[in-house]
Amino acid sequence: MSLEEGRLPYEQPNVHRLVRLKDVLAYKEQRSMKRHALLDQLTQESAADGTYFMTTAEADAALEEERHQ
């Protein structure tokens, strides 16, 4: 979990942990930006490989063909 890993700051004045809304929103935005960057990278790699517009079956067949070459 992000709290234990120190990715999201919190206070624990008693039994319950308290997180600030601004920290949660910032963490959420940071994760979203990272996901979008990774998705963009995967899309660019797929486009470069010529597999971007392939169906799953076509991609599997192309991968199998590459393995046999």
Give the C-alpha separation, 28 to 34, whole Å: 10
Burial class (CB in 10 A: 0-12, 13-18, 19+), 27: middle
Query: What is the residue extent of each domain of the chain?
Result: 1-69
Give the C-alpha separation, 18 to 9, whole Å: 9
Give pTM, 2 decimals.
0.61
pLDDT tens, 17-58? Answer: 999 999 999 999 999 999 989 988 888 888 888 777 777 788
